[in-house]
Amino acid sequence: MSSTSRIADGIRAELAAAGLDPDDVESLIARAVDEDLDGGVDVTTVATVPAGQRAVLDLVARRAGVIAGVPVAAAVFSYVAGDAASITVVAKDGAAVKPGDVVLSVEGRTHDLLQAERPALNLLGHLSGIATLTGAWVEAIAGTSAAIRDTRKTTPGFRRLEKYAVRCGGGINHRMSLSDAALVKDNHVVAAGGVAAAFDAVRREFPGIDVEVEVDSLDQLDEVLDAGADLVLLDNFTPEQMREAVRRTAGRARLEASGGLSIDVAAEVAATGVDYLAVGALTHSAPVLDIGADLRQES
């Protein structure tokens, strides 16, 4: 274990392999654990559980879904229990689980297991809920050439974790931050004096960056295609308008459908030939996947 980290090196390596910053994850876990204790102790556990008792805690899926955040949950137990815990990963991120499937099993001091239980479940259930919802959208458009893409509508401080969960569910990520790529939206158009003017301004200032432009009409689409946009966001287009947009674009730019999308119409939208469906609900409205914790005595 690193001398500057309370999380085991092997788990830190798993986080890094998943595209997550181990230090950022540890900082988040530290805040979650501190929030739970609030400067005190777990009074219920201290009163009811002998200090030296050891047990096994299984994190178990209560509903079917797609798992995401197992290394994060493992990091919570490692942070709290250190070398006193033995952590066994049963289900890998991105795996489908059914009710009763064990996701993670931890053997250690009962006090540590119960202290880490809720922060681990909060993170694992939230991220798995995002992966599960993403997987449902991906399944809904199966057989088309379109992809499901997330947005920046993420929980503050959780963006990298939530976008990681989208990837676990089979979706792809839009820009991670405002500096990754340009997205010219309606307010930028107003401020710049027109959609083409806004695009040109970004291209001059940041010539090497991808520029996506939001349009709300086919006429605006023609403007930004002529200007050389890399990606065009079709805001609240009907499927018929999307098909016409695909015809007019003829491969000159990628097209992203956005606004008012629901999973019920996902297949119809994807079949128009657009490249992406932008779904903010993946991160701002995903229900938590029900995962429980079952304590058992060491065998």
CATH number, position 22: 3.90.1170.20
User: Which of helix, strand or coil describes residue 182?
Assistant: strand
Same domain, 163 and 215: yes
Nearest Cα to Cα of residue 147 among 260, 254, 17, 287 = 254
Strand-by-strand arrangement of the 276-278 sheet:
147-149, 276-278, 254-258, 231-235, 211-215, 182-184
Beta bridge partners of 149: 172, 278
pLDDT at 3: 66
Same domain, 193 and 129: no
> Is 4 part of a structural domain of the chain?
no
Same domain, 157 and 186: yes
Range name among 93-97, 210-214, 262-266, 268-272 with the lowest pLDDT average? 210-214
User: With 80 as the cut, is the pLDDT of residue 298 above it?
Assistant: no
> Is 39 part of a structural domain of the chain?
yes
Same domain, 18 and 97: yes
Same domain, 47 and 77: yes
Q: How confident is the model at residue 141 (pLDDT cuts 50, 70, 90)?
A: very high
Same domain, 118 and 228: no
Same domain, 112 and 163: no
Same domain, 124 and 74: yes
Same domain, 53 and 150: no
Residues annotated as catalytic (active site), given as ranges = 118, 153, 185, 214, 235
What is the domain count for the chain? 2
pLDDT at 32: 97
Q: What is the pTM of this model?
A: 0.95
Same domain, 290 and 274: no
For 217-275, what is each residue's pLDDT tens digit?
Answer: 999 999 999 988 889 999 999 999 999 999 999 999 999 999 989 999 999 999 999 99
DSSP 8-state symbol, 262: -
Same domain, 168 and 189: yes
> Is 3 part of a structural domain of the chain?
no
Cα-Cα-Cα-Cα dihedral sign, residues 171, 175, 177, 183: negative
Q: Burial, 106: exposed, middle or buried (Cβ in 10 Å; 0-12, 13-18, 19+)?
A: buried
Same domain, 148 and 127: no
233: containing domain: 143-284
